[in-house]
Amino acid sequence: MKKLILLLFVVAALSGCSSYNYYSVAHKPLDPSKYKTFAWIPEGKSKSTSIYDNDIATDKIVESASQEMGKRGFNLQSDNPDLLLRYTAVVNKEIKDYSDPVYYNPPSRILPRVSYYGGRRVYYYSYYNPLPVYVGERERSIRVKANSIMIDIIDRKTSKVIWRGWAEGEVDNPEKAINEIPQVIANIFKKLP
């Protein structure tokens, strides 16, 4: 029984660890008979800032997205591809408002009490520690780093974005954010129809 409770606790804790929200929009579905190859837009046209502005993050984003496209039957081809891919990775500083509950703790006291024992009245003192009382909320603002990674799939002939998928979340630790890139990209591509 203890192992089952521990397992449920671990599963609940791990399922709540993902701090990203995933979204996608599509102009039209990707038709596998029409699109077979893809290539990346040269890096100068993709923009990244802050923690993603390095070769390691770039390689992880490009490799992960290329693997996900390969899983869906698309081939990487630099000469005359059907689709173009680009990414945008941005970290912005935002102010987030939180509401914290406020409680009042009444003081503890010793109260005189009366009881009956053997037909006689007995006087004694008891310790009374009341529960906290909810009195409202306190607003506080915290500066956080908001992270978003966006993947665009563009029809090369029309130069229009036909699918965009992105993830948004908060960045506490830059090292963790870079190490999570493959998982984040895989979850973005789960939204691809």
pLDDT for 188:
92
Residue 122 has pLDDT above 60, yes or no: yes
The more confidently predicted of residues 164 and 93 is 164
> pTM, whole model, 2 decimals?
0.66
Q: Residue 63 — pLDDT band, cuts 50, 70, 90?
A: very high
- Write down the residue that tokens 């780093």 correspond to: 145
pLDDT, averaged across the chain? 81
Proportion of the chain above pLDDT 70, given as a percent:
87
pLDDT for 6:
47
Cα gap 61→9, rounded to integer Å:
32
Lowest pLDDT segment from 18-32, 51-65, 103-117? 18-32
Residue 191 has pLDDT above 60, yes or no: yes
Cα gap 190→183, rounded to integer Å:
11
pLDDT for 136:
87
Q: Residues with Cβ < 8 Å from 18, sequence gap 6 or more?
A: 169, 187
Q: Residue 159 — pLDDT band, cuts 50, 70, 90?
A: confident
Proportion of the chain above pLDDT 90, given as a percent:
19
Contact predicate 161/127, CB 8 Å: no
pLDDT for 192:
85
Cα gap 10→14, rounded to integer Å:
6
Partner residues linked to 61 by β-bridges: none
